[in-house]
Structure formats: C-alpha cells, structure tokens
C-alpha cells in the first residue's frame, strides 16, 4: 500500500507494529543460549534470530543471503571486507559465521547503522541509557524551527529527539550508545499506523526522508498533523524486539571513510575475502535522501549537497575511474589470492552494460584483479534492491550480476 510519499510498511518490513513485543518478558542476556544460525534462517527474512539486521530500514541494500552464501565456505579466521558496506549486511553475515570483518562507507548514516550490527548489548542497558540521557538533558541546546518541523514532529517529541541527538553527537563511543543511535535512526520517520506508534514522525516513508516542501504539501493536502510519541516508549519496545536473540560475539569495526583512498590494515591483518556492492551509475541521491537521519547524526537541519566524499556517479568516465581507484585501495589491503565478489547492476534510465562497466573499472585498477566468472543475480525487483529506489516508474528491472574475482600477485 502507498500513501503518495512512499511505501506504507510496518516497522519490520510490513510485519506490523511492536504492540505485542512490549508485553513480553525478555530473558536476561546471560541466560540466553546462542542458537545456531543456518542458511534456512538467513533466507527467511522474517526470522526472529536476525532482527538486528533490520534495526533501521535502508534502501540500496542486498539481501543477507547474498554475502552469507559467499562466506559460508571461507576458512575460519579469514578477514572479510566490504568497502561499500551501507548498513552493514556483509558484516552481519560475517558475524553469523564468526568471521572478523571491516565495513567502510563514506555516509555517516550508513556507518552509524552498520556500527550497531557489531555490538553486543542487552536491551535493558539500552533502555536505561536512553532514560539517563533524557533525564540528564532537560533542555536541548537547539531545536529546529519552521513549518516542516512543526508538521513533522509533535513539539514535545521533537524536544526529546533533540535531547537524545545532542547527547549522542557529543559521545557515541560505547556499544550501548551506538545501538541507541541506530534505534533512533530506525524510528525517526516512517508511516503512521493504527495501534501503538512505530515511528516518531508524521506520515512519511521509512527508507528515505521526503524533502521539506513535498512533505508539507502532502501533510496539508491530507490534513495530517503529528501525534505525541514517547521516545523512551519506542526505545523500550524496539530494543526488546531487535536485541532479543544473542548472536555470535562480533569482531571487527566499521570505518567512515572514502574507499577510493588507501584503506588501513586492521589488527595488522590483510583481508582474505571481499563482498560488496558499489553504487550504480546514476545513483547520486544516497545522502540527500537521508537528510533527516543525517541531521540526527550531526548534519544540517535541511537537505543540502553534502561535502562527504563519494563515488561520482553522474558521468560515466569519472564513475569508472572512481571505481578503479576503489578496487586499487581494496587490492592493497588484501593478501594475494584474496577473492572478491561484487554485486552490480544498472538503473534502467541510465542504460549501459554493467558487465562492461565493472570489467573496465577492474582492468584500470592499479593491481591485478582477475575476473573468474560473472553470473546472473536476477532482476533487482526480486530483492527490492538498489535500482528500484530512485524512481517511481523505474521501467523494466535490469538483471543484476555477481562478479567473482581473485587478486593475483604482481
């Protein structure tokens, strides 16, 4: 179902709100057993064992089963890298398989979400931290003003959001605070549903933030006003939902940086396997479409052309050149013989052959990435992945490809 501003979905991919979750008694973390995660669980997007991976809806993502299938035969102890990690799906797959991993992304929103995937915190601690933050900061230093903010959030809700935001911007070093930040990003905006609220905002999409003028017109046309929603109440229900199952102990980190520049060795180790999906040609809306979440992690309180470094995707020549720089930096961080799997595709409106683009970018890298095979990954609409998110009428879905490569010695 749509509301004119994007899909109206439940807080957990259309599975409804969290009313039933708030009534449960959660088992203390020390008493929860670590259940074995199987491929069957991973392929079931509604498996309760994998709720942490859905802590914040985010577009331009591949399904968890993709990196999990690639990594399940990797030898124990191998280091995994995703240089375009987005919300950290590859890192979740590595964690499930008890493989150390590093995720890299230039977006502060993406890295904030991904960081939570490598945390291990009981829900009670997150709730206590939120309660403490709200009690410590009785008045925020700054509350945005204007018609958008008046119509988007109830004034008391906005004040609570700002109190939590300012505290987390000041200090988000602990795992508890990183989980709290990801939870807040996940329910900062989204659809209004019957029953207990699942999001803090007036009616909005949950994967991207509508631009202010478009949102105002929609709310005015449909006579929609913001409801009072308790930040602490949503944290209590969401933390219990997403942190209800114990996952393997995480090892690794998420880095906010430009993958075209030299990547650091982590823990003095080189990487053995890379699973990633770079931006497609023409995808240039990532940061602007996440402007409200960007504000929450410290950005401006209006959409702007961010100065965050990212792959240039408007011009084909520059795009290929930027990808080549990324493959060069990835190659320098990997050991000889490392394998890399790239999921790649195109936007129908852009045209171009994804195979040609990816082959050209790999051949121009200043290291020897040899293409082993290129396999068909099916149309993007099958997994609701990247190219569906950037146009209301994207045309026929283009088949994505999986490119399997190996790093040869120079």
Whether residues 153 and 233 share a domain: the answer is: yes
Q: What is the pLDDT of residue 32?
A: 41
Partners of residue 343 on adjacent β-strands: 402
CA end-to-end distance (rounded Å), the chain: 54
| 133-153 tens-digit pLDDT | 999 988 999 999 999 999 999
| H-state helical runs in 28-153 | 39-43, 65-71, 89-96, 108-116, 123-136, 147-152
Q: Is 227 helix (H, G, I), strand (E, B) or coil?
A: coil
Q: For residues 123 and 39, which has the higher predicted lDDT (pLDDT)? A: 123
Mean pLDDT of the region 377-403: 57
Q: For residues 216 and 400, which has the higher predicted lDDT (pLDDT)? A: 216
Whether residues 225 and 278 share a domain: the answer is: no
Whether residues 300 and 410 share a domain: the answer is: yes
Query: CA-CA distance, 229 to 200, in Å (whole number)?
Result: 6
**For the chain, how many structural domains are there in total?**
2
Q: What is the pLDDT of residue 390?
A: 36
- Check whether 211 has a pLDDT greater than 90: yes
Is residue 2 assigned to a domain? no
**Nearest CA-CA partner of 385 in 47, 87, 186:** 87
- % of the chain exceeding 90 in pLDDT: 65
Q: Is 171 helix (H, G, I), strand (E, B) or coil?
A: coil
Q: Pairing relation of β-strands 399-408 and 368-379?
A: antiparallel
Query: CA-CA distance, 245 to 113, in Å (whole number)?
Result: 18
- Check whether 343 has a pLDDT greater than 90: yes
Mean pLDDT of the region 40-52: 77
Q: What is the pLDDT of residue 28?
A: 39
Q: Is 2 helix (H, G, I), strand (E, B) or coil?
A: strand
Is residue 8 assigned to a domain? no
Is residue 14 assigned to a domain? no
Question: What range does the domain containing 102 cover?
Answer: 40-112+251-410
Residue ending a domain, among 222, 245, 268, is: 245
Residue ending a domain, among 245, 277, 299, is: 245
Whether residues 157 and 190 share a domain: the answer is: yes
Q: What is the pLDDT of residue 309?
A: 59
Is residue 197 assigned to a domain? yes
Mean pLDDT of the region 221-236: 97
Whether residues 216 and 257 share a domain: the answer is: no
Whether residues 269 and 382 share a domain: the answer is: yes
Contact 116, 140 (CB under 8 A): no
Q: What is the pLDDT of residue 410?
A: 74
Distance of CA 173 to the CA centre of its chain: 19
Residue ending a domain, among 245, 274, 300, is: 245
Token pair recorded at residue 20: 């039933």
Whether residues 277 and 330 share a domain: the answer is: yes
Whether residues 106 and 130 share a domain: the answer is: no
What's the residue count for the chain? 410
Q: What is the pLDDT of residue 246?
A: 87
Is residue 346 assigned to a domain? yes
Is residue 1 assigned to a domain? no
Contact 398, 345 (CB under 8 A): yes
Whether residues 226 and 362 share a domain: the answer is: no
Q: What is the pLDDT of residue 202?
A: 97
| pTM of the complete model | 0.86
Q: What is the pLDDT of residue 245?
A: 87
Mean pLDDT of the region 22-27: 36
Q: What is the CATH number of the domain that holds 330?
A: 3.40.50.150
Contact 250, 129 (CB under 8 A): no
DSSP category for residue 200: S
Token pair recorded at residue 279: 């931006």
Q: For residues 101 and 390, which has the higher predicted lDDT (pLDDT)? A: 101
Partners of residue 369 on adjacent β-strands: 407
- Check whether 165 has a pLDDT greater than 90: yes
Is residue 379 assigned to a domain? yes
Whether residues 107 and 129 share a domain: the answer is: no
Among 36-45, 131-140, 169-178, the range scoring the smallest mean pLDDT is 36-45
Partners of residue 378 on adjacent β-strands: 400
Is residue 22 assigned to a domain? no
CA distances from 172 to 169, 188, 204, 231, 254 (A): 7, 17, 27, 18, 13
| 190-206 tens-digit pLDDT | 999 888 999 999 999 99
Whether residues 96 and 232 share a domain: the answer is: no
- % of the chain exceeding 70 in pLDDT: 80
Q: For residues 50 and 407, which has the higher predicted lDDT (pLDDT)? A: 407
Kindly write down the DSSP assignment for every residue of 329-391, as one continuous string: HHHHHEEEEEEEEEEE---TTT---HHHHHHHHHHTSSSEEEEEEEEEEEEHHHHT-GGGTT-
Whether residues 408 and 276 share a domain: the answer is: yes
Q: Pairing relation of β-strands 252-256 and 80-82?
A: unpaired
| 312-339 tens-digit pLDDT | 667 888 889 999 999 999 999 999 999 9
- Check whether 364 has a pLDDT greater than 70: yes
């Amino acid at each position: 179902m749509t509301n004119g501003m994007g899909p109206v979905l439940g807080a957990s991919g259309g599975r409804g709100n969290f009313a039933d979750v708030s009534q449960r008694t959660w088992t203390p973390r020390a008493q929860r057993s670590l259940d074995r995660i199987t491929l069957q669980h991973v392929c079931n997007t509604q498996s309760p064992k994998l709720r942490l991976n859905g802590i914040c809806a985010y577009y331009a993502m591949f399904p968890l089963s993709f990196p999990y299938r690639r990594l399940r035969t990797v030898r124990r102890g191998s280091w995994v890298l995703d240089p375009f990690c987005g919300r950290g799906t590859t890192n979740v797959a590595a964690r499930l398989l008890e493989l150390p991993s590093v995720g890299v992304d230039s977006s502060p929103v993406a890295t904030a979400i991904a960081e939570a995937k490598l945390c291990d915190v009981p829900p009670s601690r997150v709730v206590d931290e939120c309660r403490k933050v709200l009690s410590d900061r009785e008045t925020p230093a700054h509350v945005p003003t204007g018609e958008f903010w008046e119509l988007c959030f109830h004034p008391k809700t906005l004040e609570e959001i700002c109190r939590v935001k300012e505290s987390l911007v000041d200090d988000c070093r602990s795992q508890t605070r990183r989980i709290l930040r990801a939870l807040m990003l996940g329910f900062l905006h989204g659809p209004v549903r019957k029953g207990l609220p699942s999001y803090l905002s007036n009616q909005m999409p949950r994967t991207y933030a509508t631009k202010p003028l478009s949102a105002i017109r929609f709310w005015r046309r449909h006579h929609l006003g913001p409801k009072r929603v308790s930040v602490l109440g949503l944290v209590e229900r969401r933390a219990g939902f997403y942190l209800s199952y114990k996952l393997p102990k995480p090892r690794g980190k998420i880095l906010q940086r430009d993958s075209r520049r030299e990547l650091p060795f982590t823990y003095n180790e080189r990487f053995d396997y890379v699973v990633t999906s770079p931006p497609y040609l023409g995808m240039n809306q990532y940061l602007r479409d996440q402007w409200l979440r960007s504000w929450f992690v410290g950005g401006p309180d209006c959409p702007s052309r961010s100065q965050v470094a990212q792959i240039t995707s408007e011009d084909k020549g520059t795009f290929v050149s930027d990808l080549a720089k990324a493959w060069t930096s990835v190659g320098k961080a990997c050991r000889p013989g490392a394998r890399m799997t790239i999921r790649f595709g195109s936007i129908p409106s852009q045209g171009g052959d994804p195979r040609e683009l990816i082959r050209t970018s790999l051949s121009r890298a200043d290291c020897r990435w040899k293409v082993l095979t290129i396999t068909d990954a099916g149309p993007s609409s099958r997994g609701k992945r990247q190219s569906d998110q950037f146009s209301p009428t994207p045309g026929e879905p283009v088949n994505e490809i999986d490119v399997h490569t190996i790093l040869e010695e120079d």
